[in-house]
Structure 1
Amino acid sequence: MSGVDDGNSPDHNSAGTVVIGGGLAAAHCAHELRKGGYGKPITIIADEDAVPYERPPLSKEFLQGNKTADEFRPFPEEWYAEASVQLRLGLTATAIDTANKVVGLSDSTSIDYENLVIATGCRSRLGGRASNMTGWDLPGVHTLRSLADSQALKEQLVEGRRLVIIGAGWIGMEVAASARAAGVQVTVLTPDEVPLAVAMGTEFGSHVARLHIKNGVHCRFGTMVNGITLDPESGLKVMTSTDAVAADLVLLAIGAVPNNELAAEAGLEIGTGVLVDAQLHSSDPSILAIGDIAEAFNTTLGRSLRVEHWDNAIRQGKLAAATILGREEAYDWLPYFFTDQFDLGMEYVGDRAADDDVVLRGEMDSGEFIIFWLRKGLVTAAMNVNIWDVNDHLRSLVGKSIAAHRLADTSVDLLSL
């Protein structure tokens, strides 16, 4: 390390950077700081007992038993000690004293900071707290946000068992695919008429629905869930407006809620998340927010947005470090995410709106196609499905004016667009 601050090793006599949250964004912030020559103390406060890890495998490879936790940690455990990054696991931050720049912790200790980075992420939206659904806290009812959650769910995915998933968003549909791979009987209950329609539109959502049905998932769209009951003899039942669905286990996949409370109590400005500028500064210039929690101003899109995806966590972690290091960088990239379900793999980049025009390149029935979204003739987003090594090019097309017929015409070389 070299070039920033005044030495090659951390100065433990000075207040440095404290990161609240032990996820992907936090890990990349710490790593980028050390990579950039930051010589002051770095402390990560993590409420889980696990070394920082990536979350996408929790509903896919880890849940299927195809990856171990060590395989999806961005940096091995030993790196933190080697880089003099202090991991304080199993602790939560209880208060932020912005006047004195002190964070209070759940073990009754406190830590001073020069720069504070809030990376507290999201928690699962629980049925009982989000609606009038009863039984959300019964034994056998799961949520999926953490490594421990995924491990507990994986242990229950035994061939022949009955899993009811409430919700048809990304987590719900990915877990449905993973559970079917384990031979589990899966029923998806959702009030939506089409899965993923809000995120991706009805065209792609309908394709995903057909894929799941073809692979044996029992999908009940337009179904309201009223509650969950547990009978000692008959087991779990999910009560809908018309009937009761028997289950051996239930997954609540009805969304996530940002962990705003600590920031709000500290007096920071809150919107859908912690409001930050293009350099990720909050309303307190000594405090940054990153990852799922941050509603950040995007200079490319010209507006603030909050993004709950893997790519954004990595990039914002690095950007927070750049800001602390005094580099002139900004939040200027387009949202990106991916999914894998059965034999479908896709990547998406851009910022579509519900009323954007949809242009299909290729045939959905073939399983290999690209979808473009246009607004007033400009490409707003693009998604490649089972067509690889093209997403960087699709990213370059966002914001350009391209005729819809050229986008749809497979005889036109994609790279020439």
Structure 2
Amino acid sequence: MPADLAVIGLGHLGLPLAQAAVAAGIATIGYDPARATDLAAGRLPGDGAEGSLTAADIRRMLSGGFRPTGDPVELGRVRTAVICAPAPLGADRSLDLAQLTDATRALAARLRPHTTVIIETPVAPGTTEGVLRPLLEDGSGLRAGRDFHLAYSPARLDPGSRTHAYATTPKVIGGLTPACTESAAAFYGRLCDKVVRARGPREAETVQLLETNYRHVNIALVNEMAVLCHDLGVDLWDVIRCAETKPFGFQAFRPGPGVGGHGVPQDLSGPPLAVRPLRMVELAQQVNHHMPQYVIQRAATLLNEHGKSARGARVLLLGITYKPDVPDLEGTPAQEIATRLMQLGAAVSYHDPHIASWNVLGHPVPRADSLYEAAADADLTILLQQHRTYDLQGLSVKAQLLLDTRGATPTGAAHRL
């Protein structure tokens, strides 16, 4: 059955796009051989890649006509194809494009003239034209900009947000030609209130780069301030509270135990570009990568000050997802923190209303059923993520010792990062 749209890659980028398209009345298929069977049955695949969507969301999409499929033949029957395959950061600090290029080849083999192809996967500037365009042209025998439209659009998602909906978040479009841009803009205009036209694909790709790096650099700055303020005996959280009253030239960021999520920083010093590195981004990565170790240092110091050793201590990790109220463990600093605690000999357990089971070092971590009882029993409770369901006032009363890495507890109720 023909469809208006194919979303290729049904993970944290593709599913929200498909959800918005179905809600807008667009006949949508989703292509993902690894996840289609579960999604077609109204189940979450269990790998956490769906971001903030729930099984109920998937079932509503299915009832609205959404069709997940693992059959690539379906890709030849759509007017618009949006590629949302993941491109994680590899060991050499460059993006691993294997899943993206596989998805592109699958589409190319069935690409029809006049189709609009849009890339949403975060990639380095020049990837759409230099890597993906040749794959599409060689696999289809068609020419981009003449026989089919090609454009890039940076994904802008705020998982779990009640403020920034898909429709109200402006969409940036950069096409290979002006006609490519307009074709992509016409598609996104059915989903979003505002479309912003970039000069071309490279500019649109670099928008993604700037937005992601902006987040990481500013988090690194405030993470360094957290360490400095602790050493000086200054209340950082009060500093931020006062600073954010400035109506110009300042945007408040808050420290934490590390930086997770799918948006990985890029300094462009690795392949395929290997250009002049963005030194500030490189330094920001070093600062942010150190934060889990800093949390461990603070935890060990607190235990020692209360006459206890990390070895044999009962430590409860509270909130292990990378973002509040989102069942996503991608890049969560909780993984490294738990690992380091276990290596010190601590007995680690966790509580998270969004995560039913969790493995660290190849072993399941005990999950606390009763938050208050677990906090009262633990020698140290570490708040890693502030979920809405947590009563932090009550928790601060029940916990023997509480380290708050998010500055979410009432002043004086816990030891803050």
Fold match by TM threshold 0.5 = no
Which of 1 and 2 has higher RCO (CA within 8 Å, sep 6+)? 1
Give the TM-score taking structure 2 as reference length: 0.32
More helix by share: 2
